[in-house]
Amino acid sequence: MAPILDINKLYKNYGATEILKDINISIEPGDFLVLVGPSGCGKSTLLNCIAGLEEITDGTLAIGGKDMTHVSPKDRDIAMVFQSYALYPTMSVAKNITFGMKVRGVDQATQDAKLKDVASLLQIEPLLNRRPSQLSGGQRQRVAMGRALVRDPKLFLFDEPLSNLDAKLRVEMRTEIKKLHQTLDASIVYVTHDQIEAMTLATKIVVLKGGVVQQIGSPAEIYNNPANLFVADFMGSPAMNLIPAQATRNGSGTQIAISREAGETLVLTDTRDLSLPEDVILGLRPEDIAEAGFRAGDGVQEAACMVDMVEPAGADTYVVSELGGKHVTARLHAETSAQAGKMLNLAFDMSKVSYFARETGERLN
Amino acid sequence: MTDLSMPQTQTRTQSATGKIALRWLLYVLLGLFALYYLMPLFVMVTTSLKSLEEIRTGSLISLPREVSFDAWKTAWSGACTGIQCEGLRPYFWNSVLIAVPAVALSTLLGALNGYVVAQWRFKGANIIFSLMLFGCFIPFQVVLLPMARLLGMMGIAGTIPGLIFVHVIYGLGFTTLFFRNYYVTIPAELTKAARVDGAGFLRIFWSIFLPLSLPIIVVTVIWQFTQIWNDFLFGVSFSQAGTQPVTVALNNIVNSTTGVKEYNVDMAAAIIAGLPTLLVYVVAGKYFIRGLTAGSVKG
């Protein structure tokens, strides 16, 4: 099947400033693509380019197999949900939802039928005669989604739709968007700066920084095999531990030496077949460092470390220790006996380690 | 405990008395100022209701001994402006015929201009807007001669459409400014959403922006109506016998009396000429303040 969205060598400039550089993305029908990155990385601009609200400077863009590079937004067969919801303030909820159909000249009976379907799907029937100003944030969000759903487009575009909601509602609506995606089997492009939203919703993630694609992959790929230091640091909370280390190859594998301010150098062995330069940055997620005895497997190695801080977080307890001049976080079970200022045996799962080049930040293994 | 709380209560009572005294002082002062400002109106109204005999013999600020509307009748339909003696009536209607279309047109065009400048950013939008703003501050005397030439070339010199044209042109600066500042506070995502929904430039303006604009429309209408109705300079420069607005006619009535000066007729005529702007403000005044401050508060 043809990809539902195919972006090829897309460039976007504002005057002399390059906002987006050489973007190549392709998604299949039913995909949930999340564009994620820090603010100013160009993710919203890219979404506006897909919508046709911004002209692209160079490259091509196809939706549903048809070239849409220079087609106006209304003819792209898309629907968009905005961060501020952008509901028409003087129209009732029902009028907001049917406005697009009215503009396109859809007959009244079809309008009514579609409105009814969408209203019952989103459970907003009692709100249809209200004005947007009479709705709560969550209700406005639903209406904005209703306006998009009623169009039944090839592609849905979401521009940070949850960032105006409070934390609890955000989680609720996140679940609901995911449910909608599953029931409707819709193709979605979703912009967010929240990496948890990206991880939970996406079937495919694009990490952007400074208008350049850093990595494209499934959430698991992005999380387990980040392509560079930026992706490693950006995705995951608490962030991946990134520790400067020295690598030396010997018979059985690679010796990884991590200096410590207090105490002797920590030496770990990675038994995988690797060819690393001497200076590397070792990346290990907090959950891949456990209390000794709680983690088993081929790559697991134990070492005594000085505990600098203990942070109970309910389900887990985070323990911070100084390694290679960095605060390294380990994720321990809640009932740990770790105490600040005492030594503790930690188990490092070396089979999960990512290595990055110190100069370029690129992944090495 | 009691010893400690006593002095506190006392100071509180003292400061309360002080506050009330201050408040009364304020009211008295405000009342005096209001009287001072209302004095001319009072004199105008009472004089217009007196007979000429009484004006000659009585005091300026005394109430009329005998209320008579003769002066109003004369002012409306009998007073002489030069050689004609038809009163203000025909000129009053001239003013209506000039002001209503000129206000409507300049408001509508200002709304469209403001919508474009605020929501459809194009290259040079800021320069064009600055130039239009500049138009607000050009003294009208400067443009009299070029405008007279232009009206002559267009063949509408001395006509009511000519005056409408002049007022629409010179109102655009302010009306554009009003609408632009109002529309700038409306999030750009609204336009984007409507574009994705398939609405075009005019459809978005008509269905989404105009229904939002009531407060600023009221402000603009009051402003423009007051400007155009009270205008004397353009009225006297670009009109001819038969198309003069009420302000010019008022001037002629006051200046062309022969023999005894009919102060009562002059006063009545002045009040008649000023009534419509007063009326507009009374009817729509509360929206005026609301519209001027709209946008400064996030809604």
Convert the pLDDT of each residue in B99-154 to its tens digit: 999 999 999 999 999 999 999 888 888 898 898 888 888 888 898 999 999 999 99
| Number of residues that this document lists for chain A | 365
Q: What is the pLDDT of residues B19-33, one digit of tens each?
A: 999 999 999 999 999
B111 and B65 in a single domain? The answer is: no
Contact B189 A84 (CB under 8 A): yes
pLDDT band for position A224 (cuts 50, 70, 90): very high
The crossing angle, in degrees rounded to 10, of helices B89-119 and B263-293 is 20
Residues B62 and B181 in one domain: no
Same domain, B8 and B102: no
The answer for residues whose C-beta is within 8 angstroms of residue A177's C-beta and 6 or more apart is A145, A158, A161, A162, A190, A201
Cβ(A159)–Cβ(A44) under 8 Å? yes
| Interchain CB distance below 8 Å, A53 and B199 | no
Our count of domains for chain B comes to 2
Q: Is residue B91 part of a domain?
A: yes
Please give the structure tokens belonging to residue B218: 């009221």
List CB contacts of A43: < 8 A, sequence separation 6 or more.
A35, A36, A37, A191, A193, A208
Residues B62 and B184 in one domain: no
**What is the pLDDT of chain A when averaged over all its residues?**
92
The band of B294, judged by pLDDT with boundaries at 50, 70 and 90, is: low
**Nearest-by-Cβ selection for A86 from B187, B211, B212:** B187
CA–CA–CA angle B283, B286, B290 (5° rounding): 140
pLDDT at B12: 63
Residues 6+ apart with CB under 8 A from A195: A36, A234, A235, A236, A237
- Is B134 within the bounds of a domain? yes
The 10 Å CB-count burial string (b at 16+, else e) for B192-225 is bbbbbbbbeeebbbebbbbebbebbbbbbbbbbb
Please check whether residues B7 and B136 belong to one and the same domain: no
Domain boundary among B59, B75, B91: B75
Instruction: Say what the pLDDT of residue B85 is.
Output: 81
Cross-chain Cβ contact A74/B192 below 8 Å: no
A314 reaches B (C-beta below 8 A): no
- On whether residue B70 sits in a domain, the answer given is yes
B193 contacts in chain A (CB < 8 Å): 80, 82, 86-88, 147
pLDDT of B178 above 80? yes
Q: Tell me the three state secondary structure of residue B8.
A: helix
Query: Do B67 and B122 sit in the same domain of this protein?
Result: no
The fourth-level CATH superfamily of domain A241-357 is Nucleic acid-binding proteins (2.40.50.140)
Residues of A in contact with B198 (CB under 8 A): 74, 100, 103-104
A53 touches chain B (CB under 8 A): yes
Where b means 16+ CB within 10 Å and e means fewer, B124-163 reads eeeeebeebeebeeeeeeebeeebbebbeeeebbbbbbbb
Query: Does residue B299 lie in a domain region?
Result: no
CA dihedral (B133, B136, B137, B140) in degrees, to 10, reads 150
Tens-digit pLDDT profile for residues B226-240: 999 999 999 999 998
Mean pLDDT, chain B, integer: 87
Q: Is the pLDDT assigned to residue A273 strictly greater than 70?
A: yes
pLDDT at A214 over 80: yes
Q: What does the pLDDT read at residue A227?
A: 95
Domain spans of chain A, in order of start: 5-234, 241-357
- The three-class DSSP label of residue A300 is strand
Which pLDDT score, from 0 to 100, does residue B298 have?
Answer: 36
User: Minimal Cα distance from B192: which residue of A?
Assistant: A53
Smallest Cα distance from A349 to chain B, Å = 48
pLDDT 10s digits, A19-29: 999 999 999 99
Nearest to A103 among B187, B198, B212 (CB): B198
Q: Which of A308-317, B45-54, B258-267, B269-278 has the lowest mean pLDDT?
A: B258-267
Q: Are strands A204-209 and A32-36 parallel, antiparallel or unpaired?
A: parallel
pLDDT for position A263: 78
Listed in sequence order, the DSSP H helices in A202-281 are 219-224, 229-234
Confidence of residue B295 (pLDDT cuts 50, 70, 90): very low
Model pLDDT for residues A303-324, shown as the tens digit of each residue:
999 999 999 999 999 999 999 9
> Residue B1: what pLDDT?
41
Q: What is the DSSP letter of A133?
A: G
Q: Quick one: tokens of A268?
A: 């770990």
- pLDDT of B2 > 60? The answer is no
Mutation for B interface: A47, A84, A103, A154, most B CBs within 10 A: A103
Domain for residue B298, yes or no? no
Do residues B204 and B281 both lie within one domain? yes
CB contact under 8 A, A100 and B197: yes
Residue B107, domain member (yes or no): yes
Same domain, B102 and B228: yes
| B283/B141 same-domain check | yes
Residues of A in contact with B189 (CB under 8 A): 82-84, 86
Tell me, yes or no, if the two domains A5-234 and A241-357 fold the same way: no
Q: How many C-beta atoms lie closer than 10 Å to residue B115's C-beta?
A: 25
CA quadruple A347, A351, A353, A356: dihedral sign: positive
Task: Indicate left, alpha or beta for A227 from its phi (over 0: left) and psi (-120 to 50: alpha).
Answer: alpha
* pLDDT of B46 strictly over 50: yes
Is the C-alpha dihedral spanning A38, A42, A46, A49 positive or negative?
A: positive
**Pick from A79, A86, A89: CB nearest B189:** A86
First to last CA, chain A: 33
Claim to verify: residue B139 and residue B211 sit in the same structural domain: yes
Chain segment A161-171, per-residue pLDDT in tens:
998 888 888 99
Residues of chain A positioned with their CB less than 8 A from the CB of B212:
89-90
pLDDT in tens, A11-52: 999 988 999 999 999 999 999 999 999 998 999 999 999 999
**What is the rounded CA–CA span in Å between residue B35 and residue A167?**
59
Q: What percent of chain B has pLDDT over 70?
A: 91
Separation between Cα atoms, residue A161 and residue A141, nearest integer Å: 7
Whether chain A has a CB inside 8 Å of the CB on B206: the answer is no
Find the domain containing B66 and state its range: 2-75
Assign A275 a pLDDT band (cuts: 50, 70, 90). confident
Minimum CA–CA partner of A91 in chain B: B208
Q: Using alpha carbons only, how large is chain B's radius of gyration in Å?
A: 26
Same domain, B104 and B156: yes
**Nearest residue to A130 (alpha-carbon basis) of A151, A107, A146, A148:** A146
Q: B192 and A82: CB-CB below 8 Å?
A: yes
* Residue A163, both tokens: 């960032």
What's the predicted TM-score (pTM) here?
0.81
A92 close contact with B: CB closer than 8 A: no
Which of B190, B196, B204, B212 to substitute to test the interface with A, most A CBs within 10 Å? B196
Which of B187, B190, B203 is the closest to A103 by Cβ? B203
Percent of chain A past pLDDT 70, that is, above it, reads: 100
Asked if A73 and B195 come within 8 Å (Cβ–Cβ), the reply is yes
For A5-234, which CATH superfamily applies? P-loop containing nucleotide triphosphate hydrolases (3.40.50.300)
| Same domain (yes/no): B229, B269 | yes
* Token pair listed for A223: 């999380």
